[in-house]
Structure 1
Amino acid sequence: MASTGPSLYSQAGQSTDLTRSTEEDSLVDGPLISADVLQSAIRREFQSVPTTCSSGVLSLMHVLYVVLSLCVGIMCVLKFGKEEVCLHILGSVKGDCAIVFGKVFLWALTLLHSLWMQHHHSRARSRGYLRFYRQTRRLQQLPLITHSTGNVFLLLLLALKLPLIIHTSLLLSILGVEVLVAVPCLLYYTVKVMQFNRERAAPDVSQEEHSHTYTVTSLATETGFRGSNSLEEVVEKQADLIEYLKQHNALLSKRLLNLTAQH
């Protein structure tokens, strides 16, 4: 009787181990999610930034506005041309007033375009394209800043009581400086966005070269630097990266759950 007890316990233990190993083997040998299916499921499709057409149209409208303003200023304000044509086209509206009305309309279009760009670039930033967002951030703001600064000088010019020739010359000069600053900026921005859409690159965090540069080179050189501008830039980069990784991990968790439920 004494010898049967241990044998029973040993048999029970062996049977328990066999059952447990069988369950584990069944879990391991079960239908796993293949790497190709997983990669294809979690790979986020590239979404282009659709602001190139609007930037090109705005640049063209800005050039046309300056050319028409130059014609109106010479023919209708300074009256160096056909006054009958000005009366037929503008009616009772004065030439300088027509230029100001066009300036306000162009500024409103620039404001709407700036909001449009900011919306799409913020979405690109949330998808992990942090370098592209920083490279184009100043380009997004410069056209609106240029037009707003021109409006300030235009208001000062209207407040001053200057002779007609000086007034018109300064007005056209302000418009000329605006087009020389805003249009090249918009064209350069359009080229940058077209290159970004053509490359269809992966998010910054997914690129091994960028990851290696960020974790080794950048952090090693920026650790001992005490400049306030550099520190703010590093903190902003880290905040953007952390925010993207949080959103990316949440998306991956949802997709993994969906794939597990399907299999």
Structure 2
Amino acid sequence: MDHQATGGGAVHPGVSPVHLQDTDQLLDPVLFSNDNGSFKLKTVPAFSLHLLISTAISIIGIVLAASYPAEKRCDAYFIMLYLRATFWVITYLFDHFVKIQHNNLRMNGYHDFHRETNMQKGIPLQLVSLWNSALLAVQALIHHYYGENFWEHCAAGWLSPVSYVTAFTVAENLVLTVTHSFYIDKVRKFNNAKLVPDVLRGTDRAGGSLGLMQPGGDTTELLEKQADLIAYLRDHTHKLNQKLHQMQTNVRPVRAPQIP
């Protein structure tokens, strides 16, 4: 008896259609997504929100330093310190989210843009940490210099500790405004360009093949690109192994019929 097989529609004995469907999904390509060219880096809202929070803290500091009466200026000083500590925690969580998004960018094959923005994505946490460390040193000097008279100097007008904290916060906000604006503009241009992954661009890339270097090319850049590609393929190989293991677990073994 002849058996007819049409494409992938044939169902083997002992294997349910559900398991075949699961197997087909597990065998889908994992190196590139099906929507190549439509990948978007979802970090612009996070950077905008982070900058908004920084600006709000700066405005609060200015209001406290300018409007709080003398007897409450020490309270304003501690409020600003609490806000600074909270802002660092927010920045830490923000940095974790941004790293996840950039890792997705790398896993989707956009190595050039990942390398181009690798330093910029870490600036917020580094800057806030550096600013808080400098502010901690200044506050230590203030307490050491004022000593027991610290509570009296809290009401010293524009030379009070709350003014120092506010000045640090405003300066930090100005730097964050510049760095965030450059980053947001760069990401928006990348999202609007709707580029395909680097490897799929092939000969359209100026650098040519990752295995060859044109005369006068940068050896360091070539090695960085090769390292990115190796890490990219290693991660996807690990994912492929996981999918194969899941496929072996889900698909039931097929027993051949015994001939009497």
* TMscore range, shorter length: 0.5 to 0.7
Distance 1:75 1:133, change over 3 A: same
1:37 equivalent in structure 2 = none
The 2-side partners of 1:152 and 1:247 are apart by 36
Give the root-mean-square deviation of aligned CA atoms.
3.4
**Taking structure 1 as the reference length, what is the TM-score of the superposition?**
0.64
2:168 equivalent in structure 1 = 174
Equivalent position SS for 1:214: coil
Q: Is 1:186 paired with 2:183?
A: no
Question: Do the aligned partners of 2:202 and 2:209 also contact (CA within 8 Å) in 1?
Answer: no
1:122-137 pair list within 5 angstroms:
122-137=103-118
1:205-220 pair list within 5 angstroms:
205-215=199-209, 218-220=213-215
- Listed one character per residue, the Cα deviations across residues 135-181 of structure 1 (whole Å, up to 9, x for unaligned) are 21121111111111110111111111355416444322211221111
1:237 to 179, 201, 225: 225
Count of paired positions:
201
Larger radius of gyration, structure 1 or 2? 1
2:139 equivalent in structure 1 = 158
2:258 equivalent in structure 1 = none
Q: Is 1:103 paired with 2:84?
A: yes
1:133 alignment partner AA: H
**Gapped regions of structure 1 (runs ≥ 5):** 1-29, 33-40, 88-92, 224-229, 255-263
1:48 equivalent in structure 2 = 40
Which structure shows the higher helix fraction? 1
1:115 equivalent in structure 2 = 96
Question: Do the aligned partners of 1:205 and 1:211 also contact (CA within 8 Å) in 2?
Answer: no
Distance 1:167 1:135, change over 3 A: same
Equivalent position SS for 1:213: coil
2:197 to 170, 194, 203: 203
- Listed one character per residue, the Cα deviations across residues 74-131 of structure 1 (whole Å, up to 9, x for unaligned) are 222x74xxx7xx69xxxxx711000010111111111111110111101111211011
Q: How far did 1:219 drift?
A: 4.7
Q: Is 1:147 paired with 2:131?
A: no
Q: How far did 1:209 drift?
A: 4.4
Q: How far did 1:242 drift?
A: 2.7
Question: Do the aligned partners of 1:58 and 1:110 also contact (CA within 8 Å) in 2?
Answer: yes
The 1-side partners of 2:217 and 2:64 are apart by 55
Q: How far did 1:189 drift?
A: 1.6
The 2-side partners of 1:133 and 1:183 are apart by 22
The 1-side partners of 2:48 and 2:76 are apart by 27
- Aligned sequence identity (%): 23
**Taking structure 2 as the reference length, what is the TM-score of the superposition?**
0.65
The 1-side partners of 2:238 and 2:99 are apart by 25
Greater relative contact order structure (CA < 8 Å, 6+ sep): 2
2:247 equivalent in structure 1 = none
The 2-side partners of 1:123 and 1:132 are apart by 12
Question: Do the aligned partners of 1:49 and 1:120 also contact (CA within 8 Å) in 2?
Answer: yes
Distance 1:146 1:188, change over 3 A: same
